[in-house]
Amino acid sequence: MLSRRSLLLSGAAIGAAGLAGWQTPAFAQAPQLNIFVPAAPGGGWDQTARTMDEVLRKEGLISGSQITNVGGAGGTVGLPQFVNQWKGKGNSLMVGGMVMVGAIIANKAPVTLAQTTPIARLTGEFEALVVPAASPFKTAQDFVAALKADPGKVPVAGGSAGGTDHIMFGLIAKGAGVDPTTISYVPYAGGGEALAALLGNQVAAGISGYGEFSEQVAAGALRLLAISAGERQQGIDAPTLKEQGIDVELFNWRGVFAPPEVSAEDKDAMIKLVQSMADSASWKEQLGKRNWTPILLTGDDFAKFLAEDAARVEGILKDLGLA
């Protein structure tokens, strides 16, 4: 683990070499950071960005940050802005994940994550299937039975089309023998909007990362029917889909990316910054609090994973008729 002093010394050396992006005098203070969130406030990426900001400040790894939200279409609205307008800005990170991989493929987006500079895969999270507290569905089997009877009458809220939530709904339908092209999926640009639809009983169910629903589940406003883990998870009072005869297991991931055309020094500094954050007690505390699983993978290893995941997601979307 890098100490704060080591990181500052590294930042000072980079600054002396001409790293204008950090705009930090040698030894003066920790750097300013710009965090780009290609989604509306309230969702998982936004939560990740704001948790990062909190931890990085608390640990003294940055002196401050600015978070920019540009939502829409699973990140494919904001991604071109990040790639084109933030190009070469070495003090900037974008939060993204598996949702964006699927949305890029489903929307046939001209700008892809291959045009960014992968920095680190941070966390993983199982998906959750929830319903409003007043729902007649008590189990995932009840949900599937209704889906089999008339898929058009079981609208499900989630993130953007082609994202992880959509993929999970499609896999549940396919496993139940329902044509995935007939399901009623209602995409939202941000987790806050999807949650409002659920609480307002505008949809029959919702699918997203467990962390996005945990507070409302604990408050009794939502009922958790199942999670997409391979086995029950400590601290989560719900069976898995597999336990209920639905052979679906899915793991969502989130990570951070630098813009294109950043220097090698900038890239290395960002990797060290994220590594220091991930090693901190503050970050580990947040992981436990939010039920996020640490799956840190940095630099070139993350870039390799990203290419493999894109190929896997494309195959799933084609099978489901979503690409």
Per-residue model confidence (pLDDT) at position 317: 87
Q: Are residues 160 and 108 in the same domain?
A: no
Residue 312 located in a structural domain: yes
**188-202, 248-262, 266-280, range with the lowest pLDDT:** 188-202
Per-residue model confidence (pLDDT) at position 77: 94
Residue 113 located in a structural domain: yes
Per-residue model confidence (pLDDT) at position 26: 28
Buried b (16+ CB within 10 A) or exposed e, 176-207: bebebeebebbbbbbbbbbbebbeeeebbbbb
Q: In this structure, what token pair is assigned to residue 262? A: 């950043």
pTM higher than the cut 0.85: no
Q: Are residues 178 and 96 in the same domain?
A: no
Q: Are residues 142 and 46 in the same domain?
A: no
Residue 218 located in a structural domain: yes
- Angle, in degrees to the nearest 10, between helices 98-106 and 299-319: 50
**Residue among 169, 182, 179 at smallest CA distance from 241:** 169
Q: Are residues 100 and 141 in the same domain?
A: no
Q: Which amino acid is at 37?
A: V
Could you tell me the residue range of the domain that residue 212 belongs to?
126-244
Q: In this structure, what token pair is assigned to residue 194? A: 């999807």
Q: Which amino acid is at 200?
A: G
pLDDT of 250 over the 80 cut: yes
**N- to C-terminal Cα separation, the chain:** 42
pLDDT bucket at 147, cuts 50 / 70 / 90: very high
Q: In this structure, what token pair is assigned to residue 269? A: 């500094």
**CATH code assigned at 188:** 3.40.190.10
Per-residue model confidence (pLDDT) at position 53: 97
Q: Are residues 79 and 63 in the same domain?
A: yes
Instruction: Report the run of H or E that residue 104 belongs to, with start and end.
Output: helix 98-106
**Do 283 and 55 touch, CB atoms closer than 8 A?**
yes
Q: How many structural domains comprise the chain?
A: 2
Last residue of a domain, one of 244, 270, 292: 244
Per-residue model confidence (pLDDT) at position 163: 80
Query: Which residue do the tokens 């009623």 mark?
Result: 184
**Residue among 203, 241, 202 at smallest CA distance from 224:** 241
**pLDDT more than 90, % of the chain:** 65
Q: Are residues 225 and 291 in the same domain?
A: no
Buried b (16+ CB within 10 A) or exposed e, 242-281: bebebebbbebbbbbbbbbebbebbbebbbbbbbbbbebe
Q: Which residues pair with 131 in a beta bridge?
A: 223
**Do 82 and 94 touch, CB atoms closer than 8 A?**
yes
Q: Are residues 151 and 229 in the same domain?
A: yes
261 Ramachandran zone, left/alpha/beta (phi>0; psi -120 to 50): left
Per-residue model confidence (pLDDT) at position 168: 92
Residue 191 located in a structural domain: yes
pLDDT bucket at 30, cuts 50 / 70 / 90: low
